[in-house]
Amino acid sequence: MTTTTALLLLALSATPAPAAKAPAQAPQLKTEREKTLYALGVAAADSFKVFNLKPEELAVVQRGLSDAVLNRKIQVDMNVYRGKVNELATSAYGDRSRAALVHFAKEKGAVRSPSGLIYIPSREGTGASPGDGDSVKVEYEGKLPDGSVFDSSRKQGGPVVAPLSSGIPCWKEGLKQMKVGGQARIVCPATLAYGATGKPPSVPPNSTLIFDVELLGVEKPAAR
């Protein structure tokens, strides 16, 4: 679950602010604070897109948020429904992740392994392929099915060198199919990534992960 989602769910269950009247119409964005608050709404929307809400369902969500923030009576028992919110989120992320696997499996050149991993080469390398004991030097970007980036080597300052054995199962399986100089997309079902637990706060439960990877080098383990 993302940080924004967590904050919004906290707002629904935390001690609300003093009562206040809701605006009769959508406010104009005149001040920097108003524009920033509007941006807060836009940022929050990213966390709700996974639910594929219909307009009438979005109105129900807005009602819950307004009731909590404006100190109105909460219409459900949050001791019961807080857990149901998490269940709904987990189910929604799972649905989107399964849809992503179907989508990427249809891409040109995609190869789906027995494990469920989808490997889509974009440039074949000419160098060595990594083995179990090797370290790899890679540039990579990891995305969720909604396109949001949860990890990137560039955010860490450039290429990353790490033991192949330290990665999640699909990372190891996918990189073994590459050769130095190659580029590929490695699509990981949740069972080969972080599973039903996810990796809070960046990776929700049951998430398919999409890695765009360039293999820059392979380093053999040091001789003992």
- φ/ψ (deg, to 5) at 149: -85, 125
Active site residue 211: yes
- Whether the link from the prior residue into 201 is cis, omega within 30° of 0, is yes
Active site residue 132: no
Q: Which of 46, 67, 146, 151 is catalytic?
A: 151
Q: Which of 51, 67, 168, 212 is catalytic?
A: 168
Q: Which of 93, 104, 119, 211 is catalytic?
A: 211
Active site residue 119: no
Do 207 and 5 form a contact (C-beta atoms < 8 A)? no
**CA–CA–CA angle 64, 68, 73 (5° rounding):** 90
Q: Which of 67, 81, 150, 212 is catalytic?
A: 150
DSSP 212: E
Active site residue 194: yes
| β-strand pairing of 111-112 with 183-188 | unpaired
Q: Which of 104, 140, 186, 210 is catalytic?
A: 140
Active site residue 104: no
CA neighbor of 168 nearest in space, from 122, 213, 125 = 213
Active site residue 151: yes
Do 103 and 209 form a contact (C-beta atoms < 8 A)? no
Q: Long-range contacts: 22-29, Cβ < 8 Å, 24+?
A: 22/66, 22/70
Beta carbons within 8 Å of 52's beta carbon, 6+ residues apart: 92
Q: At what angle do helices 55-69 and 3-13 cross, to 10 degrees?
A: 60
Helix (H/G/I), strand (E/B), else coil: 79: helix
> What residues act catalytically?
140, 150-151, 168, 194, 211
